[in-house]
Amino acid sequence: MIKKYNLLLFDADGTLFDFSEAERSAFYATADIIGIPGYIASVYPRYSQINDDLWKAFERGEIQKSDIQAMRFSKLFKDLGFDYDGKQANSIYVSELEKNAQLIPGALELCRNLSRDFTLILVTNGIKKTQRSRFSLSGFAPYFKDVIISEVAGYQKPDKRYFDYLFAKHPEFSKDLSLIIGDSLSSDIRGGNNAGIDTCWYNPRRMENKTDCICTYEIAALEELYTILL
């Protein structure tokens, strides 16, 4: 079999891991522990938006990862008028998140199959301790050569230096024979563009690309990767 790629860089959350479900589960558990007021189903979307905005600011290099952890619950509690320490709430939330390793349907089987013909590396901006815990629970470990976490690399996607770190650590691979697969245009696809790597946008909701990010491929289901790769 002639392969166009030999290295597949998989994003974690939203691509292989069902982060929406993990986040919701961890938030509900945190709310139960500390007694966040109000109907949780109505409070959670506000938290999720705050968290998403902070992570995007992190990707743009405007804040540090530690700022996300310090600010997300503090901002939420300010909105709710709830008197509770935001950093303490975040600590509880992170502890709960570490227990959640829900996967996108078919992700484990896909990685098992692809690992027979390709080298797989997980690329994530997530919190180091949390991601390592979730990865160990996921069943992915036998199929991945490495996990590159932004905290360890010193840079985050989409910064080109994040990918420079990856290829310096694995000089046996070249960018020309690598493909990054991810759900985030601003992180994964722009990161691939910055690094000179082919990209595959995992877009299950079939959203319109209104950015200048260039997608080499676009898929709505992970199984479509078989057609591209094999």
Give 200-226 pLDDT, tens digit per residue: 999 999 999 999 999 999 999 999 999
Q: Give the residue-averaged pLDDT of 67-71.
A: 94
- Look at residue 164 in the predicted model and tell me its pLDDT: 98
Question: What single letter denotes the amino acid at residue 56?
Answer: K
Tell me the mean pLDDT in the region 103-116. 97
Residue ranges, comma separated, of all CATH 3.40.50.1000 domains in the chain are 7-17+103-229
Q: Letter for the amino acid at 84?
A: Y
Q: Give the model's pLDDT for residue 49.
A: 95
- For the segment 143-148, the average pLDDT, to the nearest whole number, is 98
Q: Is the pLDDT of residue 135 over 90?
A: yes
Distance between CA atoms of residues 115 and 142, nearest Å = 9
Mean pLDDT of 107-111: 98
Question: What angle in degrees, to the nearest 10, is found between the helix axes of 128-138 and 86-97?
Answer: 20
Q: Is 145 exposed, middle or buried (0-12, 13-18, 19+ CB in 10 A)?
A: middle
User: For residue 41, what pLDDT band results from cuts at 50, 70 and 90?
Assistant: confident
For residue 37, name the pLDDT band (cuts at 50, 70, 90): confident
Quote the pLDDT of residue 58.
93
Catalytic residue among 11, 13, 159, 183: 11
Question: What is this structure's pTM?
Answer: 0.90
User: CATH homologous superfamily for 7-17+103-229?
Assistant: HAD superfamily/HAD-like (3.40.50.1000)
- Reply yes or no on whether the pLDDT at 153 is more than 90: yes
Per-chain mean pLDDT for the chain: 95
11 part of the active site: yes
* Main-chain dihedrals φ then ψ at residue 7, nearest 5 degrees: -125, 125
Q: What pLDDT is stored for residue 40 in this prediction?
A: 78
Residues of the chain with CATH 1.10.150.240: 20-97
Q: What percent of the chain clears pLDDT 70, i.e. is strictly above it?
A: 99
* Region 20-97: CATH code: 1.10.150.240
Burial class (CB in 10 A: 0-12, 13-18, 19+), 192: buried
Task: Return the pLDDT at 1.
Answer: 60
Query: What digits encode the pLDDT tens for the residues 173-207?
Result: 999 999 999 999 999 999 999 999 999 999 999 99
pLDDT at residue 39 greater than cutoff 80: no
Helix, strand, coil % in the chain, rounded to nearest 5: 55, 15, 35
